[in-house]
Amino acid sequence: MSHNDTIPLYQSSQSDIDEIENMMNDGFQSGPGTVLPARPPSPIRPSIPVSSSPFVQSNLPPLPPSSSSAAQKVTPVPAPPSLPPAVNFGSSEGSKTTGFGSPPNTWTEPVWDTVKRDLSRIVSNLKLVVFPNPNREDPGKALRDWDLWGPFFFIVFLGLTLSWSASVKKSEVFAVAFALLAAGAVILTLNVLLLGGHIIFFQSLSLLGYCLFPLDVGAVICMLKDNVILKMIVVTVTLAWSSWAAYPFMSAAVNPRRKALALYPVFLMYVSVGFLIIAID
């Protein structure tokens, strides 16, 4: 059967379909001479789920009709109309291409799916970094899926909260907070890299941004209640929480003898932000 001149719609599906058809041919023995019922080929092709895990099991059910349709898919490839209906897959766009290497067909997904996927990525990154969970043992694997949206929101939120709490010079407070946090994240990352550590620039920025979440919470509490003692307690607690969150990732990235050199500046930055929170009135 000549499938070679079918035009691959998506780079991924052609090889999968060929493999599946080889399996089916062993069972079905349908040769070119067999008359097979005509079926519209195009809707079937995109619906075969392409996932990076062994796809055999999940693909078998819809196959019997498609082996016949694929046999006919020689010349009149119905030119795929502008874009076939939305195909949604569980894995994300930039996702782990383990082994099979075929990126999922997210070309034609509706915008809302993209939004939801990105939002869920932010939430999962947050949970990974800030809350205790088993993945913290393997920092390299965690935060694979870095994104900068979470850090962006947290930094802006912290700046806004500080600015709101300030009774004078609101603009300066915001600008200083934002610049301090953004520049601080960049400099801390450079620090790790210069110490000979192995960390990816954006991954580290993302991590340091997510670790600001506890400080955000602390800033909100301090904004609502103006008691100095309470502020100090809250800031100390959230400071410790932030440092605890950042610790495994930063320490795993550098040589054990240089751990303190990498972690101390991080702690220092969080302390200075903490002072900023306490001092604002």
Partner 1 sequence: MQPPVENYANPNTCLFHVLFKGAALAFYILSALFFNSFVIIFVVTVLLAALDFWVVKNVSGRILVGLRWWNEINDLGESVWKFESLDQESLARMNKKDSWLFWWTLYLAAAAWLILGVFSLIRFQADYLLVVGVCLSLNAANIIGFTKCKKDAKKQFQQFASQTIASRFQSTVQSAFTLV
Q: Which residues bind partner 1 (CB under 8 A)?
A: 7-11, 79-80, 82, 93-98, 103, 107, 111, 114, 118, 140, 144-146, 149, 152, 156, 159-160, 163, 170-171, 174-175, 178-179, 198, 200-203
Nearest residue (CB) to partner 1, 63 versus 173: 173
Determine contact, residues 68/86, Cβ cutoff 8 Å: no
Nearest residue (CB) to partner 1, 179 versus 230: 179
CA distances in angstroms from 139 to 205, 247, 265, 270, listed in the order given: 15, 10, 19, 21
Cβ 179 to partner 1 shortest distance, Å:
7
Nearest residue (CB) to partner 1, 18 versus 145: 145
Q: Which residues contact 117 (CB under 8 A, 6 or more apart)?
A: 92, 93
Cβ 169 to partner 1 shortest distance, Å:
11
Query: Angle 6-7-10 (CA atoms, 0-180°, nearest 5)?
Result: 125
Residue 273: CB atoms within 10 Å: 24
Cβ 50 to partner 1 shortest distance, Å:
15
Cβ 246 to partner 1 shortest distance, Å:
18
Nearest residue (CB) to partner 1, 166 versus 234: 166
- For 137: left if phi > 0, alpha if psi spans -120 to 50, otherwise beta; the answer is alpha
Distance (Å, rounded) from C-alpha 267 to C-alpha 273? 10
